[in-house]
Amino acid sequence: MQHHGVTIAGTGSYVPARVLTNHDLAKMVETSDDWIRTRTGIEERHIAAADEPTSALAYEAACRALDAAGMKAEELDYILVATFTGDNIFPNTGCYLQKRLGAFNAAAVSIEAACTGFLYGLELAANLIRSGNYRNILLVGAEKISSLVDWTDRNTCVLFGDGAGAVVLKQTTPGHDCLKSVKLGADGRYTDLLRTAAGGSMKPLTVEDVASHQNCIKMEGREVFKLAVNAMVGSSRAVMEKAGITHDDIRWVIPHQANLRIISSVGKYLEVPEDKVYINIQRYGNTSAASIPIALDEIVRSGQVKRGEYLLLTAFGAGLTWGASVIKW
Ligand code: COA
């Protein structure tokens, strides 16, 4: 029996209104606009308001994606939110988003694969549709990373931003599947490179932990950098081979936006010209699971991809986790 096909019926994205520039950060920690720009490519990032949790960002992106798909929230039968900065530890952020949308015919869940979350979610959602059990799935990558940033740690606070990106995936006829290939990976030996040190069941939060910011993001930046390039290049090569295409066939590489130098290295190793590697890190910083769907939405809305063209998505993040996917638009 042939599986059902999957198509992306609509995209949407949202970033909160408040902009935090490198110059603003230079007033908060010992850093400079020049250091941040040259080491990361980031110029500014958006920061959510106090009363704007991750599900509020996800909601705005989801409404735009539903609108683009010409679909009502009641038509959704599954909501999947990729995030590591959920509204609460539980219940899952999918349920908070479901409530905001009024999408009460949908199952709702969240997954956590940090910056690779959108790609993990994409494969899950596609297979739920292929199984025939679901027809209309909302997949959102949404993060309020500012809620986990240690604003006294210059090694990490300059890197991250808040935002959300969404896609509506729809069942289509067998043989017409836009998701040509996916390759995901993980290596739990590197859990300590990028993490929070307290606030989970391993080390429930104490007053001392809060005072010393143990509940905030900790990172070994240099180690992560090295592993990231290899992981993204390896998985990208694997998905191109699986899809039966080469780098010449790619219209856009859409890399997770963590560091401009990482993105440039990935482009070079993959032999994709610079003007085919999508970059918006200067405006948003690293928005983790939201970064790829925000970039995808920008490309789609500005008419920079035509039906039938190939997109190569690739990401890496805490876990470590990584992955890539080829989409035929
Ligand atoms: N402003 C000024 N100086 C800073 C700084 C900042 N914001 N952050 C760190 N520094 C300092 C360091 O303390 C270090 O000083 P030292 O040599 O006196 O110890 C110096 O700059 C160089 O640090 P280094 O770690 O070598 O810089 P780098 O070139 O590796 O860049 C990162 C640091 C974090 C930008 C880079 O390693 C990176 O992007 N790594 C990947 C991180 C990532 O993407 N994480 C998310 C994964 S999804």
pLDDT digits (tens, 9 = 90+) for 136-192: 999 999 999 999 999 999 999 999 999 999 999 999 988 889 999 999 999 999 999
For residue 301, give the nearest of 323, 278, 272 by alpha carbon. 278
Quick one: CA dihedral 73, 78, 81, 82, positive or negative?
A: negative
Cα of 155 to ligand 1 centre, how many Å? 6
157 is catalytic: no
Question: Cα–Cα distance between 180 and 252 in angstroms, integer?
Answer: 15
pLDDT at 3 over 90: no
Helix (H) or strand (E) holding 180: strand 179-186
Largest CA distance in the chain: 62
Cβ pair 177, 129 in contact under 8 A: no
Across residues 316-325, what is the average pLDDT?
98
Q: Give tens-digit pLDDT for 76-90.
A: 999 999 999 999 999
286 is catalytic: yes
Nearest atom in ligand 1 to 317's CA: 48
Cα of 139 to ligand 1 centre, how many Å? 32
Cα of 53 to ligand 1 centre, how many Å? 28
Q: How confident is the model at residue 245 (pLDDT cuts 50, 70, 90)?
A: very high
The DSSP string of 37-93 is: HHHH---EEEE--TT--HHHHHHHHHHHHHHHHT--GGG-SEEEEE-SS-SSSSS-H
For residue 164, give the nearest of 102, 251, 82 by alpha carbon. 82
Decide whether any atom of ligand 1 lies within 6 Å of the 224 Cβ: yes
Q: Is this model's pTM higher than 0.85 or not? A: yes
Peptide bond into 91 cis (omega under 30): yes
> Which mutation among 149, 232, 259 tests ligand 1's pocket best, with the greatest number of atoms within 8 A of CB?
259
Both tokens of residue 230?
Answer: 């290899």
213 is catalytic: no
Instruction: Give pLDDT, residue 175.
Output: 82
